[in-house]
Structure formats: structure tokens, C-alpha cells
């Protein structure tokens, strides 16, 4: 069963949302927000990103990194 969620936006925010919906080709504001929610669920948190960066730096210092070919050579 579907539920209705109401949000409060300023006129400027509402205009920005509607412009994004139109510019990005969504059929409705609802489909746009569903897309945003699905996209956000696939993201890692800022804390996870920082920890991954710290782990990578430590790995590099320990020599755990590998030399990779330039990406232009792989294309």
C-alpha cells in the first residue's frame, strides 16, 4: 500500500525541484523523489568515506598498493 508524504518547501525550493524534474525528464515530482531516495540509499556515509581514505593511506604506507597502468592506456 502506498503512503502519502508531505514536505514543506519554500517557493524557491519548490521551483527548483520542479525545474529539476522537467530538466532531468522525470514524469512527476514523486518519481524524482523516489529516484533521489534510491540514489541516496546506495551512498556511503561521510564517516565511511573518511575511514576508507585513512585505510588506503595506511595501506599505501605499508606498501600494500599496486602500480596500475594509466587509464588512458586501458581504454
More confident residue, 75 or 18: 18
Burial class (CB in 10 A: 0-12, 13-18, 19+), 54: exposed
Residues with Cβ within 8 Å of residue 9, at least 6 apart in sequence: 17
* pLDDT at residue 49, rounded to an integer: 95
pLDDT band at 50 (very low <50, low <70, confident <90, very high): very high
Amino acid at each position: 500500500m502506498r503512503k502519502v508524504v508531505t514536505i514543506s518547501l519554500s517557493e524557491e525550493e519548490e521551483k527548483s525541484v520542479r525545474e529539476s524534474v522537467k530538466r532531468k525528464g522525470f514524469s512527476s515530482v514523486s518519481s524524482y523523489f523516489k529516484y533521489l531516495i534510491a540514489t541516496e540509499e546506495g551512498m556511503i556515509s561521510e564517516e565511511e568515506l573518511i575511514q576508507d581514505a585513512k585505510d588506503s593511506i595506511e595501506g599505501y604506507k605499508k606498501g600494500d598498493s599496486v602500480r596500475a597502468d594509466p587509464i588512458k592506456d586501458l581504454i
